[in-house]
Amino acid sequence: MADPAYVPEIAAAVTGSPRHSLLVRTTHWIHTAAFLGLLVSGIAILLAHPRLYWGEAGGMGGPSLIDLPLPLVLTGQTGWGRSLHFLSAWVCILAGLAYLLSGIVSRHFRDNVFSPGTLYNPIQRVTYVAVVFGLFPLVIATGLAMSPAVTSVFPELVALLQGQQSARTIHFFVAALLFVFLIVHVTMVVRAGFIHRMRSMLTGEPL
Amino acid sequence: MSAGISRRKLLAGASVATGAAGLTVAARLARRYGLIPPDSGGIFGAAETLTYASQRILMARHPLAREFDRSQISRATPVNGDPPEDETYQRLQTDDFANWKLSVDGLVARPASFTLAELKRFPPRTQITHLACEEGWSFIAEWTGVPLSYLLNLTGVLPQARYVAFFPFDISWDSLDMSDALHPQTLLAYTMNGQPLTIPHGAPLRLRVTRQLGYKSVKYLSHILVTDTLKSIRNGLGSISPDLGYSWYAGI
């Protein structure tokens, strides 16, 4: 019985080669670890000040955009939080660059993402494009727009995002969307056959 | 087919070798151009170094941090941390810091001390800039002070100087590399929003480093030391921050 979302038998038959290349599999698991690091450390940083603002500046005693219903108890966790966040961000960006370059060179994006009638249905392709070419660049850009060093070099970046605090707020919501994507992604994998799909992403064997 | 596999292996081997050689060369260049932060050890050290080195390269032309209009000055100006409990500081506070002095020594030709009145006679710089706390909050304010570079020129920084260390009236301390120490926006600030600095904001004199987060802008200054190495100062990591789990460099 073919899964309407994805037809693995065709994949193997058409290409006759492993479904996921070694580079895609390696960067997938590097990104998994880095994403979890970013998520945990991002929450630790957020809990030091769970208020969001719009514009250039904002703090206690001033108006906020949203007061997140989170406890203020975890102050003092930003030290390791920030260190883990930037370590994970570097891992994520370096692995992401390798993935993007190989995706272009191997025509993975052209053949599997941007052309109709591939292995993936339109919803999968739109989601993939939105996450890889939309949410990830946006979360990186908004993260960098919070850096006073980076914005001294690229003031346009923070101006475009309506200010440093707006960048922080957008960063939070994009991260939340990426978390939703993670949940949906894992749910789909479980529903489509967890063991087979895990094996395929670990060994590259056709499903 | 076998030719294909051996070609692939050859490519993989070549890229590993190139990568290793590249890393060695990069490490040597980074050391030569001062792109390695003092707290580059430990599990987060590699990422710290990447951040510091890449931001230093990005800022090679020493751009200014953004400055704002008066209309953008924040009404709320929160603070973190408590004023020093040091006895000397308490005593100096009683007569509005009239007897306070800032000493500048180390690798300078003419070590000197300056009273607040003397510092205020030097050509001031006023700037409206953003101060962001690493916790996430921020405010915009107008600061006036003496550019640190002015004081460093006045005392005659020696060519071998690589860092400037700052000591307040409490156990905390910090340091800047020469790129930030000589940056035109790096101020020894004595007023905020047109008023003398209040105690919570670091009276009588605080550092303002515009391209780093708030915790680098040391309050309650007492002593400035110019040095060629941070290894011999206290924990040897350039700042009290690494002892508290924070990084020395706070450009992000």
Using one digit for the tens of pLDDT, what is the confidence trace for B194-211?
Answer: 999 999 999 999 999 999
Q: Please name the residues in contact with B96: beta carbons below 8 A apart, sequence gap of 6 or more.
A: none
Q: Please name the residues in contact with A41: beta carbons below 8 A apart, sequence gap of 6 or more.
A: A80, A81, A82, A83, A84, A85, A88
Structure token pair of residue B133? 């706390």
Confidence category of residue A133, pLDDT binned at 50, 70, 90: very high
Q: Which domains does chain B have, with CATH numbers?
A: 66-244 (3.90.420.10)
Residues A77, B11: Cα–Cα separation, whole Å? 44
Residues A113, A34: Cα–Cα separation, whole Å? 24
A83 close to B47: Cβ distance less than 8 angstroms = yes
Residues A83, B146: Cα–Cα separation, whole Å? 33
Residues A44, A50: Cα–Cα separation, whole Å? 10
CATH number, domain of A176, equals 1.20.950.20
Residues B220, B206: Cα–Cα separation, whole Å? 6
Task: Please confirm whether the linkage preceding B84 is cis (ω < 30° from 0).
Answer: no
Over residues B36-51, mean pLDDT:
95
Using one digit for the tens of pLDDT, what is the confidence trace for A11-28?
Answer: 444 444 557 889 999 999
Per CB-CB distance under 8 Å, the chain B contacts of A84 are 44
Count Cα neighbours of A138 within 13 Å in the Cβ-side half-sphere: 21
**Total count of domains within chain A:** 1
Establish if A13 belongs to a structural domain: no
Establish if A2 belongs to a structural domain: no
Structure token pair of residue B131? 């101060």
Confidence category of residue A74, pLDDT binned at 50, 70, 90: low
B 33-92 residues with CB < 8 A to A: 43-44, 46-48, 50-51, 55, 58-59, 63-66, 68, 72, 74-78
B222 close to B168: Cβ distance less than 8 angstroms = yes
> In terms of pTM, does the model score above 0.90?
yes
How far does the CA of residue B59 sit from the closest CA of chain A (Å)? 6
How far does the CA of residue B190 sit from the closest CA of chain A (Å)? 22
Residues A11, A3: Cα–Cα separation, whole Å? 13
Interface predicted TM-score (ipTM) of this complex, two decimals: 0.92
How far does the CA of residue B43 sit from the closest CA of chain A (Å)? 9
For residue A43, give its domain range: 20-55+64-203
Residues B206, A161: Cα–Cα separation, whole Å? 31
Using one digit for the tens of pLDDT, what is the confidence trace for B207-233?
Answer: 999 999 999 999 999 999 999 999 999
Does A149 contact B59 at a Cβ distance shorter than 8 Å? yes
